[in-house]
Amino acid sequence: MTNLFRAGLVLLALGTLLACEGSPDIDRAAYEREAQAYSVEILRDPFGVPYIYGPRNADVAFGLGYANAEDDFKTIQETVWAVRGRLGERQGRDAAVLDYIVSLTRIWETVHAKINSDEVSDDARAVAKAYADAVNLYAARHPEQVWAETLPITAEDIFAGILFKQPLFFRIDTELLSLIEADEDDDKTAMAEGAQKLASRLTGVPMGSNAMAVAAPRSEDGHTRLFVNSHQPFEGPVAWYEARLKSGEGIDLIGGTFPGFPMIGHGVGPNLGWAFTVNVPDLVDIYELTINPDNEDQYELDGEWVDFEKSEARLRVKILGPIKWTVKQEVLWSKHGPALRTEKGVYAVRYPGMDDMRSLDQYIAMNSAQTYGEWLDAMRIAAVPSFNAIYADKTGTIAYHHNSRMPKRKSEAGIDWTGTVPGNRSDLIWQGDYGFDAVPKVERPASGYVFSSNNTPFTATDGPDNARIEDMPDTQAFEMHMTNRAHRQLETYGADPSITREEFIAYKFDLCFSKKSQLADQIQKIINAEFDDPDLIKGQKMLAEWDMCTQKTNTAAALAVYSILDIIRAEVKLKPWPDIIDGYKKAVPYLIKHFGKLDVEWQVVMRIIRGETDMGLDGGPDILRAIYDTDGPRDDHRLHAVVGDTLIQLADWDTDGALNLVTIHQFGSASQVPGSPHYDDQVPLFVDHKFKPTYLDRDDIEAAASRVYEPVKAE
């Protein structure tokens, strides 16, 4: 990939002609005619959230596509270019590395080969096409927002987007980019790090998520409650968009979805709900290949030389302004999967779901499920390779499932599946996985409580019902760590045998670090250190007296968090943690220089900013009230919330099974439309831990709606 960057430098030196973009030529009438196939109505609630009703699943997918395009066409369009492997044309060399990954992983070959096969249902094809048709309709009506060559968006784009994003959540990008990196080549390393940052923007990992549920044995009033609390970027391709879908074919759900995705990702309906959190078990395997010394295009397998399947990626890269350059890059495929030549050797990568097109069918089934059994049947499709799931329903059933497609690897002395595996044996190329029912789970626990905060799957409740690692295959590698949020789950919910609704909410917004957390260990290193500088000694005393919490008015939290900023950045990049003492020695003079003192109130430095809205926040990194700035401090020397708590749902089923559902979003429904009243109207509620109502009955939303319209009718 180094040649890609060098080609750009050559291009500039030679003064190659500019590649200018023309304005898109859009046949609006054709897209208007296509839209007449759908029957859908959108009702916007007082906060602009779309409630979408239609007779078919395809109709509500069309409505979702149109509503999301109204509120964030910019991100949908960017996502389409990313999954087409053309983002480098817009965002330069870092994005071009991701474009290469699109080619390397054969996403489009899979889509073209399987979209019309029996692997994909007619319903899934119709849903994907409907969503694409809706975005096309919006774009045709607003051509000034459209990049040349964006239209038409197709069902293939939708399926490719799913194939592209899913493995990023269990960090396939990290594995591939680690092979691209090379210390002796600064250009390549810089490109890989830039691509990693873009990939993190596409997935939101590894910042984490929370989910928790209690049932009658644990709730003071016998209610069943669920918090859906994924931690995502505040904007971008995986920022939550809230919507209600209700179709005559069975979909009935309020929840969050991502730009370019035609179903609810997780959410709550009248009968049940579920929340996903990211898990990162070892699903990706790296094979070291032995190359034929007489033919670099062959690798050894079972004592024979086998030809790579070779193709060529043509990467068009933005160099400067409108200047672009097309770079040709080799693409290799082995029996194991995609392969890469690196300065350290040739490696192949294998991961579950590489060519699985059934994910949209699974999401449609999950969106349509009305009982725990139906939801389990949907999950058993197992086309969603990872994510922990916390489930709850109106019957009082709660459950935890460590959903992950664990490969059926060969168990053999000397083979370490967490490291690099020999690539010269076909018996090490695993086929299939253990299935949804074989991984850790907790169903209807005696404790009446389940949770996930990106911690080990063997601690999902506080009772006797946790799964045991001893029961798992020895070739599997699960997360074994406890996040601060997991420790605080057990110190709040887990310490309370009879939880009221108020306590259920208060514990979710807990603001403290556990004394068992890694941060506590880091702060103790500062407290135990010896300093001569009086400012360092003063800060040391402050931290020794700190209550380990992040209330708005807390005067030691800023010093603690600024001291760990380099650690947070390393965590984002999955790099080793730097020395906390070095971070502390930077934080003390920084706060004094820019704020005039060390005991700065947390709300002064931790801000949520949207348009003209600029408010102080509580919470912080790895807090149950999760708030992160992964790039700060900013030019104003403060921290700006960019990742963490976003769309939060609180579901409460009473003893008769009736649902009360409230939600909150960090910005608003139209978070990418600065002129909209819903650009930032939810920020004050979000800051104060408040929620807004939802409308489960059609009569209620009709009475409350701020706008009612049929998008297929011309404006």
| Whether pLDDT at 198 is above 70 | no
Residue 240 near residue 255, CB atoms below 8 Å: no
Average pLDDT, stretch 189-211?
54
Average pLDDT, stretch 633-645?
96
Each residue of 149-165: pLDDT tens digit? 999 999 999 999 999 88
Distance from C-alpha of 58 to C-alpha of 131, rounded to nearest angstrom? 8
Percent of the residues in the chain that have a pLDDT greater than 90, as a whole number: 82
Write down the pTM of the prediction: 0.93
- The band of 698, judged by pLDDT with boundaries at 50, 70 and 90, is very high
Distance from C-alpha of 477 to C-alpha of 350, rounded to nearest angstrom? 15
Q: What pLDDT does 191 receive?
A: 41
Average pLDDT, stretch 83-97?
88
| Whether pLDDT at 28 is above 60 | yes
Rounded to whole angstroms, what are the CA distances from 687 to 62, 228, 614, 667, 691?
33, 18, 11, 10, 10
- The band of 524, judged by pLDDT with boundaries at 50, 70 and 90, is very high
Burial class of 122 by CB neighbour count within 10 A (0 to 12, 13 to 18, 19+)? exposed
Residue 683 near residue 246, CB atoms below 8 Å: no
- The band of 372, judged by pLDDT with boundaries at 50, 70 and 90, is very high
Q: What pLDDT does 476 receive?
A: 87
Q: What pLDDT does 715 receive?
A: 66
Q: What pLDDT does 168 receive?
A: 73
Lowest-confidence segment of 117-126, 342-351, 598-607 by average pLDDT: 342-351
Each residue of 659-675: pLDDT tens digit? 999 999 999 999 999 99
Rounded to whole angstroms, what are the CA distances from 131 to 26, 37, 38, 60, 66?
18, 12, 11, 9, 8
Q: What pLDDT does 324 receive?
A: 82
Percent of the residues in the chain that have a pLDDT greater than 70, as a whole number: 91
Residue 26 near residue 146, CB atoms below 8 Å: yes
| Whether pLDDT at 709 is above 90 | yes
By DSSP bridging, strand 50-54 and strand 241-247 are parallel
Task: Tell me what the pLDDT averaged over the chain comes to.
Answer: 91
Average pLDDT, stretch 134-156?
97
Q: What pLDDT does 181 receive?
A: 58
SS3 letters across 263-284: CCCEEECCCEEEEEECCCCCCC
Residue entry with tokens 């939290």:
557
Distance from C-alpha of 580 to C-alpha of 565, rounded to nearest angstrom? 9
Q: What pLDDT does 8 receive?
A: 32
| Whether pLDDT at 456 is above 60 | yes
Each residue of 267-277: pLDDT tens digit? 999 999 999 99
Containing 53, the helix (H) or strand (E) segment is: strand 50-54
Q: What pLDDT does 204 receive?
A: 42
Q: What pLDDT does 17 receive?
A: 30
Lowest-confidence segment of 40-49, 168-177, 193-202, 412-421 by average pLDDT: 193-202
Phi and psi dihedrals of 343, rounded to 5?
Answer: -70, -15
Residue 337 near residue 421, CB atoms below 8 Å: no
Which DSSP state fits 467?
-
| Whether pLDDT at 20 is above 70 | no
Residue 267 near residue 273, CB atoms below 8 Å: yes
Q: What pLDDT does 23 receive?
A: 53
| Whether pLDDT at 14 is above 50 | no
Cα Rg of the chain, angstroms: 26
Lowest-confidence segment of 224-233, 402-411, 471-480, 616-625 by average pLDDT: 471-480
Q: What pLDDT does 203 receive?
A: 44
Q: What pLDDT does 598 receive?
A: 98
Higher-confidence residue of 324 and 655: namely: 655
